[in-house]
Amino acid sequence: MKIFSEELVTEAARENHVADLCHATIGETLLVAQYLEQKTGIPFIRMDQGSPGLPINKYGVEAEKRALDTGIGSQYPAAAGIKELKEAASEFVKAFINVDVSPRACLPTVGSVAGSFGSFIACCQRKAYPQMGKVLFIDPGFPIQKSQLRVLGIEWREFDIYPYRGEALREKLEEELQPGDIAAIVYSNPNNPAWISLEEEELRIIGEMATKYDVVIMEDLAYFAMESRRDLSHPYEAPYVRTVARYTDNYLLMLSSSKIFSYAGQRMALVCISDKLFDRHFPALAERYHDSGVFGPTFIASIQYMITSGCTATTQYGYAEMLRLSCEGKINFVEDTREYAIRAQKMKAIFCKYGFTITYPRDVNEEIGDGFFFSLSYPGLTGSQLVKELIHYGVSSINLDTTGSLQQGVRACTSRMRDELYEVLDERMKQFQQDHQ
């Protein structure tokens, strides 16, 4: 028996102006879940929004307080970022990725959303003709980034990586890049929503293709080092975080503070640009902005500054402190975020016990790890049907088709799970199975 009736769910959708629950956005799903929870007092299993579910990092908070006490709040922050953050970012990339990016090429942004927005502009406008400045998404991926391209009027193509793992990725990328109209490739690693992780050989293929076709790789590392199958917690020691940066000079890395330090409310991230890309001259940028046309300076002064006019100075000091202490081994952010993997293991076990399967179950050579997200399917139900059915049982999620996936299933987020809800989830999914034999 369903917890929430058809009439009540329909009412929740109508009152929140949600036209189609089957394909609702994260925000729309959140509103429906909140409405039902408030109306009935029955708690929801919230698997919709990927908001951190751990305490904020205290070292960042204290560093921000100290910075504010110095009086810096009376001055505009430099667009390129404060010296302390740029140096800490460069060292952090070296310590945990074993890649060299100079401090000058490490740029603060107001969250990775602002970072990707500016990066799309710079990467695509460097091309001489707009029709040559399209974006390729290796899906499934973060839906907001496509919304950004709609705002910018930039065209894109996409493909679901599900059937193209390993060496098969090379042929698919050749097919997509041969027309010569792709300026940038975007993916997250580990992946939002499926939590797959690109393996070393796949990153090598992407890097080789980027160099061959002069494409910039926008590597979203929002869930940095949260890949549970390997211990990535030791600075300056292998194994290091996997990255395309080992295989091409055409890259920029997006490093967010939101998940690894639970610092989401402060909206702070970094775009770390390859030094060679940072110094490349593009006539199209020079003509458009009437500046040097050099990628890095144009990105900072002519593009990113127009979006954020600089990032909050105190938050930069907070982020710098957290990065610095991580490099010194005084903060183990990998261990701090391991709670998400523990939650994922428990949640997956409950769902699979009652007939669900993991939609994206494997990387090339092993089962996917556990972490912030995972994907779920149920026999006989499409993703559209499953997302709506789960709402009737007090479980909110999003349809995988909103992420560019061609597989039938939903995305599950572990961040809002609480200990007292595992038993609740077990009871609800037991009932779900009984009702969907």
% of the chain at pLDDT higher than 70: 100
Mean per-residue pLDDT, 83-93: 98
Per-residue tokens: 375: 């994907």
How high is the pLDDT of residue 20?
85
SS3 percent helix, strand, coil of the chain, rounded to 5, is 50, 15, 40
Which band of pLDDT confidence, cut at 50, 70 and 90, is reported for residue 22?
confident
The pLDDT tens digits of the residues spanning 158-190 come to 999 999 999 999 999 999 999 999 999 999 999
Task: Please report the DSSP string for 208-259 in residue order.
Answer: HHHHHHT-EEEEE-TTTT--TTS---STTSSSPPP-GGGT-S-EEEEEESTT
Q: What mean pLDDT is reported for the chain? A: 95
* Span 385-404, average pLDDT: 94
Q: Per residue, what are the HEC states of 43-85?
A: CCEECCCCCCCCCCCHHHHHHHHHHHHCCHHHCCCCCCCCHHH
373 φ, ψ (degrees, to nearest 5): -130, 160
d(CA 90, CA 92): 5
- When comparing pLDDT for 39 and 386, which is higher? 386
Residues facing 412 on adjacent strands? 374
3 state SS of 139? strand
Would the CATH topology of 6-54+337-435 be identical to that of 58-327? no
Give 334's Cβ-side CA count (13 Å radius).
19
pLDDT attached to residue 12: 87
Banded model confidence at residue 129, pLDDT cuts 50, 70, 90: confident
Task: Identify whether 239 is preceded by a cis peptide bond (ω within 30 of 0).
Answer: yes
* Cα–Cα dist 186/120, whole Å: 10
Q: What is the pLDDT of residue 21?
A: 82
Residue 313 has pLDDT above 90, yes or no: yes
Mean pLDDT along residues 264-277: 97
DSSP state of 302: I
Give percent of the chain above pLDDT 90: 88
Q: Which CATH number fits domain 58-327: 2.60.40.1120, 3.40.50.280, 3.40.640.10, 3.10.640.10?
A: 3.40.640.10
Residue 131, Cβ density class (10 Å: 0-12 exposed, 13-18 middle, ≥19 buried): exposed
Is the predicted pLDDT of residue 394 greater than 90, yes or no? yes
| Residue spans per domain, the chain | 6-54+337-435, 58-327
Average pLDDT over residues 221-240: 95
Report whether pLDDT(9) > 90: no
pLDDT digits (tens, 9 = 90+) for 90-118: 999 999 999 999 999 999 999 999 999 99
Residue 269: pLDDT band (50, 70, 90) is very high
Kindly indicate the confidence band of residue 152, based on its pLDDT and cuts at 50, 70 and 90.
Answer: very high
Q: In what order do the strands lie in the sheet with 182-188?
A: 106-109, 269-273, 251-256, 216-220, 182-188, 134-139, 156-160
**CATH code of domain 6-54+337-435:** 3.90.1150.100
Instruction: Count CA within 13 A, CB hemisphere, residue 254.
Output: 28
DSSP for residue 421: G
